[in-house]
């Protein structure tokens, strides 16, 4: 089910209403059922796949917990991870693998050719696979006891607000809330509604409207693009993907709150970041935290003693006393890139980030020596440009196109040649300004408004009016969320 | 602020939003916003009041044109392509017609067929040219070459060609631009086909149901959303013009990629016309000339030189003339302000009054006759 649709809004009202009428004993079961309906509205036939992943990990985790033998624990963990990754590989990477194998055979003049066939990517598979893996690994690490009741675990995997595009949850954060359902609290309800409004507004007013301009931009013949075009293309797509994905997270958080469930934040004004490390503490926080705990730290040889989806990759990296090697950094980011999609462009995107994080580490001593390098505005500008330029491989179709567009950045002679209508540049600049202003508005103005009760009431009223009016006008489920494809 | 109050606010705002949508007056035609209120769209008809001028290629328009052509004795066709200059009249009066209708009344040996699009690009002309040429005996083609049109859309504006999408139109030639257009048509046709045949998800079905239900039973709110969207876009357009002081006189610079593709489209038309012995009448259309024109003069002059050079390269079938100064400034109109907070009228560089259509019609006829007799 798509969040920005009338179907979802009606579904949500119905489910919330019934949920609060039910006795605590039935709430979990009802939400599992509702989550299946939510998913089934896209494809009913892929629901069993979620349960294959969930049931296998549920029983394997029990086995890991019960076993005294470390070797058996390891074998069970291996089986669980292999099963999950096999499903992910089949649906997400098999086509890519076969296609590239054929290219390799051709290159090597081998008379081999895999038959290619189209595979539908089940929505949310990358998200729920990571959740079930984290559950098994946490049990293996002794940080979590396996769930006794399957229904609680099933809801952890299927809980519909975060099912298809995250935030990626940890069992120790979500399941305890299912076991002790909160009593109805108006504050949760009103805050949840507010977050849903924010999300719908960002999606239908910003992301979808920007999307049509972005689509047109990426249709041009890239040979004609100038540096200013490439920057505009990357910035505008960067804003589209941010509005789109953060909108989803707002609605997910808001919907969960309507059931009294708290889900950790997934975004925190990422384009305000003053370093890439900072950026990854603000962008898709639940994914970077997952990657940190289950990939980067183990690869770096650091023992993980705690697990939380609430802090991004940066914190633990800086806290870790162990000397960091750069190999895990590049391996982690390569996997992070491929998690987003089965294309070399995503791999390149991951390595692009790894490279600049590596540079940040390399030049860290210089920052201590030269004060100008700590100038926030300068760091913000550089980080923003690097982050935005990293979206180019995310949007184009091939590595060749990526390099072609990047090469245009160094064509200083034609730097300001315009390939789009003037509106595209104006809109990009305007959105950047809106983004910065909204950050400072939230940071500086809103706290002051709160000091004056009447003014704050008026502000809140008109904010709601504006949000609701624009949502009604622009609501339509035409454009799916970009992160659904991951 | 209490949560209770927030929820009350939420409900009140929901009701107010619905009431605003319900009672907001949006009876304006936003499609003509850029044209201004003083410019009216007029399509040409023949002496028997039958349509000979279309703004899109759809089944109905195709049938109408073929019917007129059959009824008039299957005469050879003169195809007139153009943009809003052709199909609009500034400060229209009763019985005013556009220059296409004037040509139709005077070129009795030919069947005049017009196909014009707002903000047309040369790629649009290319598609229209090939389409009509394939189904009618086109002997002459009139093409105005606006510098503005060289800045227009890359690819295909599907609203102009619903029938071509349906029929999966394809150019039978190997050329980079044609291949790209073929691919665009193919993808669009496939998308349309798959939306008809693909198994719909439960969400698709419920969404269709809810939308049609709301459109039917809540038309005054749900049905008005598209108009209000247009109103919002139009206000943003005016706001942009106000902030950046953009007026019809603002300089429009060349957009290299679009210019290249549109020039390639012109080359393809010329090549085809030469090989099929179709007379091509290329002309630089009239533009208001008593004030500085809204183009980079260097770009504009190079553009004119390039067209002239292209025309001279070919044989007797390709004709070129520069009509940029034939319509006196007094026959060009004004348009209402395209900015917020301004009631001042602005100069309209492209659209003229009926007298302008008369002058252009006469000039095209003279141009046609002079080349025809040679």
Q: What confidence tens digit (pLDDT) does each residue in A215-271 have? A: 888 988 888 889 999 999 999 999 999 999 999 999 999 999 999 999 999 999 999
Test mutation, A39, A41, A229, chain B, max B CBs within 10 A = A41
Q: For the whole model, what pTM was predicted?
A: 0.84
CB of A451 within 8 Å of a chain B CB? The answer is no
Q: Tell me, what's the pLDDT at A484? A: 59
Contact criterion met (CB < 8 Å) for A190 and B16: no
Q: How many domains does chain B have?
A: 1
Q: Region B238-260: what's the mean pLDDT?
A: 83
Q: Tell me, what's the pLDDT at A21? A: 94
A468 vs B contacts (CB less than 8 Å)? 10, 13-14, 17
A7 vs B contacts (CB less than 8 Å)? 203, 206-207, 210
Contact criterion met (CB < 8 Å) for B202 and A44: yes
Q: Tell me, what's the pLDDT at A313? A: 46
Contact criterion met (CB < 8 Å) for B261 and A426: no
Give the C-alpha separation, A397 to A400, whole Å.
Answer: 8
Give the C-alpha separation, B328 to B356, whole Å.
Answer: 8
Q: Region A196-211: what's the mean pLDDT?
A: 93
Question: Does residue A341 register a pLDDT over 80?
Answer: yes
Q: What is the nearest CA distance from B187 to chain A, expressed in angstroms?
A: 13
State both tokens at A114.
């895999």
Give the C-alpha separation, B14 to A335, whole Å.
Answer: 45
B18 vs A contacts (CB less than 8 Å)? 472
Test mutation, B4, B6, B217, B258, chain A, max A CBs within 10 A = B6
Question: Does residue B335 register a pLDDT over 80?
Answer: no
- Average pLDDT, rounded, for chain B: 85
| pLDDT bucket at B219, cuts 50 / 70 / 90 | confident
Instruction: Name the residue with tokens 């910003």.
Output: A206
Report the percent of chain A where pLDDT is more than 90: 61
A193 vs B contacts (CB less than 8 Å)? 6-7, 10
Q: Tell me, what's the pLDDT at A309? A: 57
Q: Which of A250, A284, A340, A353 is catalytic?
A: A340
pLDDT (tens digit per residue) in B71-95:
988 999 999 999 989 999 988 888 8
| pLDDT bucket at A315, cuts 50 / 70 / 90 | very low
Residue B226 covered by a domain: no
| pLDDT bucket at A365, cuts 50 / 70 / 90 | confident
Q: Chain A, 270-299: which have a CB under 8 Å from a chain B CB?
A: none
A373 or B100, greater pLDDT: B100
Give the C-alpha separation, B210 to B205, whole Å.
Answer: 9
Q: What is the nearest CA distance from B151 to chain A, expressed in angstroms?
A: 8
| pLDDT bucket at A306, cuts 50 / 70 / 90 | low
Question: Does residue A148 register a pLDDT over 70?
Answer: yes
CA distances from B33 to A306, B30, B41 (A): 60, 5, 12
Buried b (16+ CB within 10 A) or exposed e, B43-72: bbbbeeeebbbbbbbbeebbebbeebbeeb
Question: Does residue B38 register a pLDDT over 70?
Answer: yes
State both tokens at A433.
């300004």
Q: Region A375-380: what's the mean pLDDT?
A: 88
Q: Region A364-372: what's the mean pLDDT?
A: 78
Question: Does residue A321 register a pLDDT over 60?
Answer: no
Backbone angles phi, psi at B341, to 5 degrees: 55, 30
Q: Tell me, what's the pLDDT at A137? A: 92
Determine whether A340 is an active site residue: yes
CB of B202 within 8 Å of a chain A CB? The answer is yes
B312 or A264, greater pLDDT: A264
Q: Tell me, what's the pLDDT at B345? A: 74
A429 vs B contacts (CB less than 8 Å)? none
A195 or B165, greater pLDDT: A195
Q: Region A289-299: what's the mean pLDDT?
A: 88
DSSP helix/strand/coil, A38:
helix
Report the percent of chain B where pLDDT is more than 90: 32
Q: Region A172-186: what's the mean pLDDT?
A: 91
Q: Region B280-287: what's the mean pLDDT?
A: 93
Question: Does residue B223 register a pLDDT over 60?
Answer: yes
Q: Tell me, what's the pLDDT at A482? A: 62
Of A85, A289, A8, the C-alpha closest to A167 is: A289
Residue B163 covered by a domain: no
- Average pLDDT, rounded, for chain A: 89
Backbone angles phi, psi at A131, to 5 degrees: -65, -45
| pLDDT bucket at A463, cuts 50 / 70 / 90 | very high
Q: Tell me, what's the pLDDT at A234? A: 96
* Long-range contacts, stretch B64-67, CB < 8 angstroms, 24+ apart: B65/B113, B65/B136, B66/B135, B66/B136
Contact criterion met (CB < 8 Å) for A417 and B207: no
Q: Tell me, what's the pLDDT at A48? A: 93
Give the C-alpha separation, A473 to B235, whole Å.
Answer: 15
| pLDDT bucket at A346, cuts 50 / 70 / 90 | very high
The interface predicted TM-score of the complex, written ipTM, equals 0.82
B20 vs A contacts (CB less than 8 Å)? 469
Are residues A405 and A396 in contact, defined by beta-carbon separation less than 8 angstroms? yes
Test mutation, B17, B226, B253, chain A, max A CBs within 10 A = B17
Contact criterion met (CB < 8 Å) for B240 and A426: yes
Q: What is the nearest CA distance from A157 to chain B, expressed in angstroms?
A: 22
DSSP helix/strand/coil, B282:
strand
Q: What is the DSSP letter of B114?
A: E
Which among A1, A216, A474 is the nearest to B203, CB-wise?
Answer: A1
Q: What is the nearest CA distance from B4 to chain A, expressed in angstroms?
A: 7
Q: For residue B309, give its domain range.
A: 31-153+252-371
Contact criterion met (CB < 8 Å) for A10 and B210: yes
Q: Region B240-262: what's the mean pLDDT?
A: 83
Per-residue three-class SS string for B170-203:
CCCCCCHHHHHHHHHHHHHHHHHHHHHHCCCCHH
Q: Region A69-92: what's the mean pLDDT?
A: 92
| pLDDT bucket at B230, cuts 50 / 70 / 90 | confident
Are residues A339 and A294 in contact, defined by beta-carbon separation less than 8 angstroms? no
pLDDT (tens digit per residue) in A17-26:
999 999 888 9
CB of A110 within 8 Å of a chain B CB? The answer is no
Stretch among B107-121, B237-251, B264-278, B353-367 having the lowest mean pLDDT: B237-251
Which among B6, B229, B253 is the nearest to A190, CB-wise?
Answer: B6
Q: Tell me, what's the pLDDT at B374? A: 57
Q: Region B243-262: what's the mean pLDDT?
A: 83
Stretch among A245-259, B187-201, B326-340 having the lowest mean pLDDT: B187-201
Q: Region A358-363: what's the mean pLDDT?
A: 88
Q: What is the CATH number for B104?
A: 3.40.50.1110
Residue B35 covered by a domain: yes
Question: Does residue B201 register a pLDDT over 90?
Answer: no
């Amino acid at each position: 089910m798509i969040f920005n649709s009338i179907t979802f809004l009606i579904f949500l009202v119905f489910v919330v209403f019934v949920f609060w009428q039910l006795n605590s004993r039935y709430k979990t079961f009802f939400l599992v059922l509702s989550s299946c309906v939510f998913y089934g509205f896209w494809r009913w036939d892929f629901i069993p796949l979620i349960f294959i992943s969930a049931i296998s990990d549920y029983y394997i985790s029990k086995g890991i917990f019960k076993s005294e033998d470390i070797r058996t624990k390891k074998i069970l963990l291996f089986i669980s991870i292999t099963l999950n990754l096999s499903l992910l590989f089949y649906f997400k990477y098999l086509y890519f693998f076969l296609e590239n194998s054929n290219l390799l055979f051709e290159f090597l003049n081998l008379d081999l050719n895999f038959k290619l066939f189209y595979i539908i990517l089940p929505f949310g598979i990358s998200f729920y696979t990571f959740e079930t893996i984290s559950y098994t690994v946490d049990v293996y690490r002794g940080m979590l006891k396996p769930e006794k009741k399957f229904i609680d675990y099933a809801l952890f995997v299927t809980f519909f607000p975060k099912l298809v595009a995250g935030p990626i949850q940890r069992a120790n954060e979500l399941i305890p809330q299912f076991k002790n359902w909160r009593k109805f609290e108006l504050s949760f309800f009103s805050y949840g509604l507010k977050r849903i409004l924010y999300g719908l507004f960002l999606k239908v007013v910003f992301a979808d409207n920007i999307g049509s301009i972005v689509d047109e931009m990426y249709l041009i013949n890239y040979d004609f693009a100038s540096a200013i075009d490439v920057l505009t293309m990357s910035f505008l797509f960067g804003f589209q993907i941010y509005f789109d994905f953060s909108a989803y997270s707002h609605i997910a958080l808001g919907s969960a709150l309507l059931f009294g469930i708290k889900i950790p934040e997934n975004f925190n004004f990422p384009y305000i970041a003053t370093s890439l490390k900072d950026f990854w503490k603000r962008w898709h926080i639940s994914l970077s935290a997952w990657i940190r705990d289950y990939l980067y730290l183990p690869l770096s040889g650091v023992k993980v003693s705690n697990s939380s989806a609430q802090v991004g990759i940066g914190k633990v990296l800086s806290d870790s006393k162990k000397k960091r090697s750069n190999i895990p950094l590049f391996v982690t980011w390569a996997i992070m890139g491929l998690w987003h999609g089965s294309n070399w462009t995503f791999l390149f995107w991951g390595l692009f980030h790894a490279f600049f994080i590596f540079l940040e580490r390399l030049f860290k001593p210089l920052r201590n020596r030269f004060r100008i390098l700590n100038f926030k505005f300068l760091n913000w500008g550089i980080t923003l440009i690097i982050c935005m330029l990293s979206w180019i491989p995310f949007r184009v179709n091939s590595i060749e196109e990526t390099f072609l567009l990047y090469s245009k950045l160094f064509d200083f002679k034609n730097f300001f040649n315009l390939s789009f209508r003037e509106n595209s540049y104006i809109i990009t600049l305007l959105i950047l300004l809106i983004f910065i202003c909204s950050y400072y508005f939230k940071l500086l103005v809103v706290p002051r408004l709160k000091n004056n009760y009447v003014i704050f009431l008026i502000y809140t009223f008109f904010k709601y009016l504006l949000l609701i009016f624009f949502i009604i006008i622009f609501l339509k489920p035409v454009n799916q969320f970009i992160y659904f494809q991951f | 602020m209490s949560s209770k109050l927030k929820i009350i606010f939420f409900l009140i705002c929901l009701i107010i939003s619905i009431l605003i949508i319900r009672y907001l007056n949006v009876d304006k035609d936003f499609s003509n916003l850029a044209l201004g209120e003083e410019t009216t769209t007029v399509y040409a008809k023949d002496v028997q009041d039958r349509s000979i001028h279309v703004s899109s290629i759809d089944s109905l328009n195709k049938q109408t044109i073929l019917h007129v052509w059959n009824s008039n004795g299957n005469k050879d066709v003169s195809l007139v392509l153009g943009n809003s200059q052709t199909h609009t009249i500034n400060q229209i009066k009763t019985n005013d017609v556009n220059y296409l209708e004037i040509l139709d009344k005077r070129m009795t040996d030919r069947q005049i067929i017009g196909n014009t699009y707002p903000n047309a690009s040369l790629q649009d002309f290319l598609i229209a040219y090939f389409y009509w040429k394939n189904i009618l005996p086109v002997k002459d083609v009139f093409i105005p070459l606006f510098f503005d049109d060289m800045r227009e859309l890359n690819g295909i504006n599907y609203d102009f060609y619903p029938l071509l999408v349906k029929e999966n139109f394809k150019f039978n030639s190997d050329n980079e631009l044609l291949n790209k257009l073929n691919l665009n048509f193919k993808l669009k046709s496939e998308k349309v086909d798959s939306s008809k045949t693909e198994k719909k998800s439960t969400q698709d079905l419920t969404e269709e149901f809810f939308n049609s239900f709301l459109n039917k039973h809540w038309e005054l709110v749900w049905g008005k959303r598209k108009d209000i969207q247009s109103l919002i876009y139009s206000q943003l357009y005016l706001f942009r013009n106000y902030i950046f002081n953009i007026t019809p006189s603002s300089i429009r610079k060349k957009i290299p990629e679009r210019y290249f593709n549109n020039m390639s489209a012109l080359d393809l038309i010329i090549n085809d016309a030469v090989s099929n012995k179709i007379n091509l009448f290329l002309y630089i259309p009239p533009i208001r000339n008593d004030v500085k024109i809204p183009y980079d003069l260097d770009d504009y002059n190079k553009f004119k030189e390039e067209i002239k050079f292209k025309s001279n390269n070919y044989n007797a079938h390709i004709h070129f003339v520069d009509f940029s100064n034939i319509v006196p400034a007094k026959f060009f109109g004004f348009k209402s302000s395209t900015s917020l907070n301004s009631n001042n009228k602005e100069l309209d560089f492209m659209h003229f009054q009926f007298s302008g259509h008369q002058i252009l019609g006469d000039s095209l006829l003279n141009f046609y006759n002079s080349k025809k007799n040679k």
